[in-house]
Structure formats: C-alpha cells, structure tokens
Structure 1
Amino acid sequence: MMIWVNQIVQGILLGGYYAVIACGLSFMFSVMRMINLAHGSLAIVAAFALYVLADQYGFNPFSALILVLPAMAVLGWVLQRTILERSQRGGMLVPILSTFGLSIVLDNLLFEQFGADTRSLAPFIDELSYDSWTITDDLYIGKLAALTFVAAVVILGGLQLFLTRTQLGRSIRATAEDPDTVGLIGINAKRVNAAAAAIALVTVGIAGAFLGMRATFDAYAGGPQLIFAFEAAVIGGAGSLWGTLIGGIVLGVAQSLGAQISPQGFLITGHIVFLAVLFGRLHLDTIGTKFRKTVRRSA
C-alpha cells in the first residue's frame, strides 16, 4: 500500500515540474491565443545558457538565473515584436508554422554549437540533485522535486496576483479579452503583448533550469518538453493558471502510477489520460453546441 502512496506523492511532485514547464505556454495562450511550438526549444536554450555559465565561468545555476532570466525576458520581447506579432496578422495557422520553424532553427543552432552530447546541471548543485527526506521506509520526498513544486505554486500564484493586482496585469487581461478596442482606453496592445511574451519567457527560463537540474538534456530535447507542457495545459484547461498546476499533477500522477504497473507505462499512461481528457472536452463542447442550437430553435 505504501508503495502506491509513494508513487502518488512522486507523481504530485513531478506534476510541479510539468506545471512550471507548461506555465509559459498556458500564459501565452491565455493572453495572445497562440500556441508557441518553440516553447520546449526555448527552455533548452535557457538550460544551455545556465550550463555554459556554470561550466565555463563557475556560476552556481541558481545565481546564474540572475543573468539568464533577464536575457530570456529580452528574447521574449524581441520575438514578439519581430516574429510573433507579424505572424498573428496572418490568422491562427501562421503563428503555429512560425513557431514550429523557430523551434527547428533553435534546435539546429544548439546542435551546431554543442553537438549531440547530453548535459546536466546536477553536478553544479551538489547533493540537492539526489538528496531526499525519508518519511517512512517506503515514502521519501526529493528535495529538488519539493523545491520544484514550491516554485510552481509560487510562480503560478505570483502570476495570478500580478494579473489581478497590478496595472500592467490588468492591461494584459484587457488586451486578451479585446485586443482591437483596448486602444480606446489608452492601452498599447503591441507593448502589452510584448511584455506578456517577456514574462512567459522568464517562466520558460525557470523551467529550463529545473529541467537541467533534474535530468539530462541535449540540443533536441525541446520536443518532449513541449509535449509534456501541452498535455498539462490541456488537461488543466488551456489558459487557466491554477488549472495548469492541476493538469501537471494529473499528468505526473498518471505517469508515476503507470511506471509502477509497467516500465513502458510511464509515458503511455500519461498520453492515455491526456487523450481521455481531450476527447471528453471535445464531447462536452459538442453537446453544449447542440444544446445551444436547440434552445435557439425553441425560442
């Protein structure tokens, strides 16, 4: 029994990482109604930047975030003003194709620079990468996993407070609701979207840091991270910040329990849960559409 309890606990903690990696994806979708397919590749860019600072310049990965996160914010601002903003004018498909192309460019640039070797930030954080608290003989909590989960709660809670309590946050929400008319109340939609992209890329940088600390990564590791982020965001409800945390936990618990059942069950179980939630949402949307049509006809 305790083995299953331990698997659930590990799944919840793993869900914290998935919430961190999905946070920026969900945030950009909620603000700009755009799915950024370069999301995972950008996280790997941040991971490699932290690795270079740690390996060549002796930075601790946590202190290196002081340099990397502002750089990611600037990168987000530049990408929004130069690529994303222009592609959004072409409809819903063009931004998807643009970010897909951007991910390919980033992956190949990283491969050209760093090769196919895997890297990790774990050697630079000493025992934090493997140390844990032992609760019972069959239950333990990894310190890095717990830190990641706490970071997820702080990031999502901070973003929620930012959107509801600050002027820029309210401007972002207003722009998300009606980007065409917010200019009438003095809001520059282009600048607001650029600021939102900068904030999203900061969260991507944090996700890249935790990825590098908890596992290995290479130039082409962005694809799997994008899949995990997308699944967590969809399970929790795309655009919902706290839903992203719930989605990450559901995905993490499913994978953890699946791994207990079968070595191949880790990924398969997570994908099955994602597909079940996706088809369930589509079915409910279909029912809701039919119901609204029936009400209009009866009226």
Structure 2
Amino acid sequence: MTNQIVQGILLGGYYALIACGLSFMFSVMRIINLAHGSLAVAAAYLIFVLSERAQLPLWACFIVAVAVMAVAGWLIQRLILDRSARGGQLLPILSTFGLSMVIENALFEQFGADTRSLASAIGDLSWDSWELPGGLYVGKLPVLIFVTAVVLLAGLQLMLSYTRIGRAIRATAEDPDTAGLVGIDARRVNAVAAAITLVTVTIAGMFLGMRATFEPYSGAPQLLFAFEASVIGGAGSLWGTLAGGIILGLAQTCGASLHPLGFLIAGHGVFLIILFARLMFPDLASMPARLIRRGAAA
C-alpha cells in the first residue's frame, strides 16, 4: 500500500504540471483552453524534431521550444482569443476546440500515426530509480517531474504576488475595465499571460515525451487529466491544482492495484464524486488549496 501511495503522489505531480497552464489561463482570462493537450503534444514534437533531426542537446531544444511556444501563446491570444472574446463567452472555447483540431491534423499530416518518445535523449533517467528502505523503489524521473511541478507552481504564485506584471495580471483577472482606468492594458496583459501559459505547456510537453510515448492525437487524454486535476483542486487555484493532481494520481494508482481497469475508472469516479460534492457544498472548492498552503507554511 505504501508503494501505491508514493507512486500516486508522484503521478499527481505530473498531472499538476500538465494542469498548471490550464488552471492559470482560466484564472486570468476565464477561458477553458480545449487546445491545451494538443499544444503540449505540439511542444513535445518540436523538442523531438530539434533533438532527433537537428541533433541539438536536450537543454538547447527546451530553450528553443520555450521561446517558440511563448511567441505562439502571444499570437494565439492576440489573433484568436482576443477577437473571439468579443462574440461572447462561448466563442473562445469553440475557437480553442477548432485550434486543437487544426494542431492534431497538422501533426498527423507531418508525422503520421507512429508514436514518438524523448526517452533516448535522457538516457538512464528514463528508467533509473532510487531504492528506499523497505524495498521501495522511486523513479528518478517521476521525482524530477514532481519537484518541477512544485517549483513551477510556487514560481507562478510568487510572480503573481510580488511582481509588477503579476499584479497587473491579477488586476486584469478581477476587473479588466477598472484595471484599464489605472493604465493597465488588458489586451497586452492577457497576451503575456498566454505566453506564460504556453511556457508551462512546453515544460509539460517535454516531460510527456520523457515519461511516455506520444502521437498526434495524444492531446485529448492529457486535456482530460488536466481538466480533472484542475476541477478537483479548484478551478483557477494554483496550489489547488497540485492537490487535485495528487488526489487524481492516488485514486488511479489505488484503483489499478484493485483491478486492471481501475486506473481510469477510479480517477473518473473520484472526479465525479468531488464535482457533485462541490455543487452541493460550495465551500469545498477552496479546501485543497488551503491544505496545500498550510502544509507549505508549516
């Protein structure tokens, strides 16, 4: 049982990482980005191409991918989301759905249906582990992913709390019209937030390629896991995203230990239970985030 708990927590770190950008964009622009998973897969393909075909070291591939995806985030906000937002709340969501279809089909046209992986670029890290007392083995890559998720979420929280652009982002999220009265350009701030979101998506896409295989249509499962982790932890809450990812990871690993089909069923079941509980008891929405913050403070 101890092994399932540890593996579930580490798996939750990946879910928190993939959900980070989804939660951040919703908290700032109140948009559910249905292209989130496809963008992560696109980032993984970009890193793969730079690594396998351009023969660049992985760290250089990551830097180039971050720059490219940040620019893509800026353009997506200015050319698609900002314009579609003028048509109401539903149109931006439909726009991201259409963007997802375009990305997936473009990747399929270019790379076909064969699966790819970044495991060869990281060598022993893809399978190596530490042996802990009691015969417990902990993978080095899952630990790296979990630490990255915590650092990324903490960094975003610090940025929002203590930097000028962070305060502008929070002000725009609360009331863009009032923020404009004090000289904040809401369109520019949202574009910067979208660029930051795509940086987090690039990090998630890189780790997706490291820990598993991916193909052009891998985005939908990643979006589903990200959405479930975000809702479980409280939509728009960064620390809640970490808590939601851990809860989802624990549910899946414990379910898998009971039945081979229990991995997905248990995760979806916990998601639905928490969702219905939230509808009946609204105060539960902020509970995971409060627990994480208290643990960090302690």
TM-score range, shorter chain: over 0.9
Pick from 254, 266, 272: which aligns with 1:269?
Answer: 266
Whether 2:107 is the aligned partner of 1:113: answer no
Q: Is residue 81 from structure 1 mapped to residue 78 from structure 2 by the alignment?
A: yes
1:168 aligns with 2:175: no
2:216 is equivalent to residue 219 of structure 1: yes
Distance 2:14 2:57 in 1: 20
Displacement after TM superposition at 1:90 (Å): 1.4
Q: What one-letter code is carried by the residue in structure 1 that aligns with 2:255?
A: G
Matches within 5 A, 1:153-232: 153-232=150-229
Runs of 4+ residues over 6 Å off in structure 1: none
Which residue of structure 2 aligns with residue 12 of structure 1? Answer: 9
Can you list the C-alpha shifts for 1:142-167, whole angstroms capped at 9, x where unaligned? 00000000000000000000001100
Cα-Cα RMSD: 1.4
Partner-residue secondary structure (3-state), 2:87: coil
TM-score by length of 2: 0.94
- Structure 2 CA distance, aligned partners of 1:276 and 1:50? 37
Aligned residue pairs, count:
285
- Equivalence for 1:149: 146
Counterpart residue type for residue 56 of structure 2:
F
Given the alignment, which residue of 215, 230, 245 partners 1:233? 230
Identical counterparts, % of pairs? 67
> Tell me, what secondary structure is at the counterpart of 2:53?
helix
Q: Partner of 2:296 in structure 1?
A: none
User: Any idea what SS the aligned residue of 1:172 has?
Assistant: helix
Residue 93 of structure 2 aligns with an amino acid whose one-letter code is I
CA-CA distance at 1:136 after TM superposition: 3.4
Question: Structure 1 length normalisation: TM-score?
Answer: 0.93
1:51–1:61 Cα contact (<8 Å) kept:
no
Structure-2 residue corresponding to 1:93: 90
- Could you tell me how far apart the structure 1 residues matched to 2:283 and 2:58 are? 47
2:63 maps to 66
* Letter of the structure 2 residue corresponding to residue 150 of structure 1: V
Q: Which amino acid aligns with 1:151?
A: T
Q: Is the 8 A contact 1:116 1:219 kept in 2?
A: yes
Letter in 2 for 1:147: L
Task: State yes or no: 1:36 paired with 2:29.
Answer: no
Which residues of structure 2 form unaligned runs of 5+? 285-298
Question: Residues 192, 106 of structure 1: CA spacing in aligned structure 2 closer, same or farther, 3 A cutoff?
Answer: same
The Cα shift of 1:63 comes to 3.0
Cα contact 1:19–1:249 (8 A) shared by 2: yes
Look up the equivalent residue of 1:159 and give its one-letter code: L
Measure, in 2, the Cα distance between the counterparts of 1:90 and 1:286: 32
Q: Which residue is equivalent to 1:293? A: none
Which of these two proteins has the greater Rg computed from alpha carbons?
Answer: 1
Q: Does 1:244 pair with 2:241?
A: yes
Q: Which blocks of at least 5 consecutive residues in structure 1 are unaligned? A: 288-299
Structure 2 residue 50 is matched with structure 1 residue 46: no
2:287 is matched with which residue? none
